[in-house]
A and B are shown apart, each in its own frame.
Chain A
Amino acid sequence: MKYFKTIFNIVEKDIILELKAKEVINSMLIFALLVVIVFSFIFEPGADYKIDIAAGILWMAIIFSGILGLNKSMMNEVNGGNLTALLLAPIDRSAIFFGKTFSNFVFLLFMELITIPIYTIFYDISLLNNFIYNLITLLLGTYGFSLLGTLFSIISVKSRTREVMLPILLLPLIIPLILAAIQAMNIFIKGEDIVESYKWLHLLTAFDIIFTVVIYLIFEYVIEE
Chain B
Amino acid sequence: MEKINRFIDIAVIVLIPVALFYAFIYAPIEKEMGVIQKIFYFHVSSAWIAFFAFFITFLCSILFLATNNYLFDDIAESSSEIGIIFCTIVLITGPIWAKPVWGVWWTWDPRLTTTLILWFIYIGYIMLRKFVEEYDKRAKFSAALGIIGFIDVPIVFLSIRWWRTIHPNVLQQGGGGLHPDMKTALIVGVIAFTFLYISMLIKRTKLAYLFRRLENLKSSQGV
| Chain A residues in the interface with B (C-beta under 8 A) | 148, 151-152, 155-156, 158-161, 165, 168-169, 171-173, 175-176, 179-180, 183, 199-200, 203, 206-207, 210-211, 214-215, 218, 221-224
List, in ascending order, chain A residues with CB within 8 A of B133's CB.
Answer: 160
Question: What is the CB-to-nearest-CB distance from B109 to chain A, in angstroms, rounded to a whole number?
Answer: 15
List, in ascending order, chain B residues with CB within 8 A of A169's CB.
Answer: 124, 128, 145
Q: Could you pull out 20 A-B pairs where Cβ atoms are within 8 angstroms?
A: A148-B148, A155-B141, A159-B131, A159-B132, A160-B133, A165-B127, A168-B124, A172-B117, A176-B156, A176-B158, A179-B160, A183-B162, A183-B163, A199-B162, A203-B158, A203-B162, A211-B148, A214-B147, A218-B147, A222-B140
Q: Decide: B144 and A151 in contact? CB cutoff 8 A.
A: yes
* Assembled-state Cα–Cα distance A53/B121 (Å): 26
Question: What is the CB-to-nearest-CB distance from A121 to chain B, in angstroms, rounded to a whole number?
Answer: 29
Question: What is the CB-to-nearest-CB distance from B180 to chain A, in angstroms, rounded to a whole number?
Answer: 38
* Assembled-state Cα–Cα distance A211/B144 (Å): 11
Question: What is the CB-to-nearest-CB distance from A74 to chain B, in angstroms, rounded to a whole number?
Answer: 14
Question: Lowest 9 A-B CB distances belong to which pairs?
Answer: A176-B159, A172-B120, A159-B131, A221-B65, A160-B131, A222-B144, A169-B124, A176-B155, A155-B141
Known: A172-B121, A176-B158, A223-B140. A183 touches B166 (CB 8 A): yes
Question: What is the CB-to-nearest-CB distance from B35 to chain A, in angstroms, rounded to a whole number?
Answer: 35
Question: What is the CB-to-nearest-CB distance from A188 to chain B, in angstroms, rounded to a whole number?
Answer: 15
Q: Which residues 158-201 of B sit at the A interface, judged by CB distance below 8 A? A: 158-160, 162-163, 166
Q: Choose from B66, B124, B145, B156 the contact partner of A175 (Cβ within 8 Å).
A: B156
List, in ascending order, chain B residues with CB within 8 A of A200's CB.
Answer: 162
B30 at the interface (CB under 8 A from A): no
Chain B interface mostly: helix
Q: Decide: A210 and B163 in contact? CB cutoff 8 A.
A: no
| Chain B residues in the interface with A (C-beta under 8 A) | 65-66, 117, 120-121, 123-124, 127-128, 131-133, 136-137, 140-141, 143-145, 147-149, 151-152, 155-156, 158-160, 162-163, 166
* Assembled-state Cα–Cα distance A171/B121 (Å): 9
Question: What is the CB-to-nearest-CB distance from B156 to chain A, in angstroms, rounded to a whole number?
Answer: 5
* Assembled-state Cα–Cα distance A152/B156 (Å): 18
List, in ascending order, chain B residues with CB within 8 A of A171's CB.
Answer: 120
Question: What is the CB-to-nearest-CB distance from A214 to chain B, in angstroms, rounded to a whole number?
Answer: 6
List, in ascending order, chain A residues with CB within 8 A of B143's CB.
Answer: 218, 221-222
* Assembled-state Cα–Cα distance A155/B147 (Å): 14
* Assembled-state Cα–Cα distance A149/B192 (Å): 40
Chain A residue nearest to B119 in the complex (CB): A172
List, in ascending order, chain A residues with CB within 8 A of B120's CB.
Answer: 171-172
Q: Choose from B65, B66, B158, B162 the contact partner of A222 (Cβ within 8 Å).
A: B65
List, in ascending order, chain A residues with CB within 8 A of B136's CB.
Answer: 224
Q: Decide: B137 and A158 in contact? CB cutoff 8 A.
A: yes
List, in ascending order, chain A residues with CB within 8 A of B155's CB.
Answer: 176, 203, 206-207, 210
* Assembled-state Cα–Cα distance A176/B149 (Å): 12
Q: Decide: A222 and B141 in contact? CB cutoff 8 A.
A: yes
* Assembled-state Cα–Cα distance A87/B163 (Å): 41
Chain B residue nearest to A200 in the complex (CB): B162
Question: What is the CB-to-nearest-CB distance from B89 to chain A, in angstroms, rounded to a whole number?
Answer: 19
- A168-B124, A203-B162 provided; 9 other pairs, C-beta below 8 A? A152-B145, A161-B131, A176-B155, A203-B155, A206-B155, A218-B65, A221-B65, A224-B136, A224-B140
List, in ascending order, chain B residues with CB within 8 A of A158's CB.
Answer: 132, 137, 141
Q: Decide: B151 and A179 in contact? CB cutoff 8 A.
A: no
